């Protein structure tokens, strides 16, 4: 008798495959529409991109006085780092100046930056914020060593090995 009860019991039936596919298609179309609408709304709220300023206008002092800034390449810096000591760094740098530096002063700036790179640890320069801090430190040291003549330090190449 238990066999007869199991055979006559109603079987629970779920929605058909056609209904499931239709629901999936409907939800997909709704999601696409909401995504497109959100994108259109955000694009309409976005301010127009500012036009890039000329290089001289980026520095208010230089823009107001009509100064033209020049670059001066330094010899490559190749040295090992403070930690880990087996990691080597090679940097090609350029200085952004109002007028070229004398050979002696450029050499002093180069040696100061070389000595600084020997004291840097790898974890200090990891990631985008580490790179920004490294660039700011190099700019500050070059400006101090040159008596304020260096406006910026441009890192052309930076390789760790």
Instruction: Output the domain CATH number for residue 156.
Output: 3.30.479.30
User: What is the 3-state composition of the chain as percent helix, strand, coil, each rounded to the nearest 5?
Assistant: 55, 20, 30
User: What is the pLDDT at residue 57?
Assistant: 47
pLDDT confidence of residue 61: 53
- Residue 138 and residue 62 in one domain: yes
pLDDT of residue 67: 75
Residue owning tokens 């952004």: 96
> Would you say residue 75 lies in a domain?
yes
In a domain, 3, yes or no: no
pTM reported for the whole predicted model: 0.60
Is 4 domain-assigned? no
Boundary of a domain, candidates 25, 46, 67: 46
Residues 65 and 143 in one domain: yes
- Is 10 inside a domain boundary? no
**90: phi then psi, degrees, rounded to nearest 5:** -125, 130
Does 60 share its domain with 42?
no
Domain membership flag for residue 8: no
How confident is the model at residue 139, as a pLDDT? Answer: 96
Least Cα distance to 95 among 115, 78, 111, 109 occurs for 109
Q: Which domain holds residue 117?
A: 56-160
Report yes or no on 9 lying in a domain. Answer: no
Please count the structural domains in the chain.
2
Low-confidence ranges of the chain (pLDDT < 50): 56-57
153 & 99 share domain: yes
Q: Which residues pair with 78 in a beta bridge?
A: 90
What rounded mean pLDDT belongs to the chain? 87
């Amino acid at each position: 008798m238990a066999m007869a009860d199991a055979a006559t019991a109603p079987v629970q039936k779920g929605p058909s495959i056609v209904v499931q596919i239709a629901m999936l298609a409907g939800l997909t179309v709704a999601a696409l529409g909401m995504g497109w609408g959100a994108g259109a709304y955000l694009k309409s709220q976005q301010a127009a991109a500012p036009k890039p300023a000329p290089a001289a206008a980026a520095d208010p002092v230089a823009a107001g006085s009509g100064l033209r800034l020049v670059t001066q390449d330094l010899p490559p810096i190749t040295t090992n780092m403070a930690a880990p000591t087996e990691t080597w760094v090679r940097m090609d740098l350029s200085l952004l100046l109002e007028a070229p530096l004398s050979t002696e002063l450029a050499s002093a700036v180069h040696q100061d930056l070389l000595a600084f790179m020997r004291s840097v640890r790898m974890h200090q320069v990891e990631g985008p914020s580490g790179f920004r801090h490294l660039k700011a430190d190099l700019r500050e040291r070059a400006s101090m060593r040159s008596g304020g003549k260096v406006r910026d330090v441009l890192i052309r190449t930076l390789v760790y090995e």
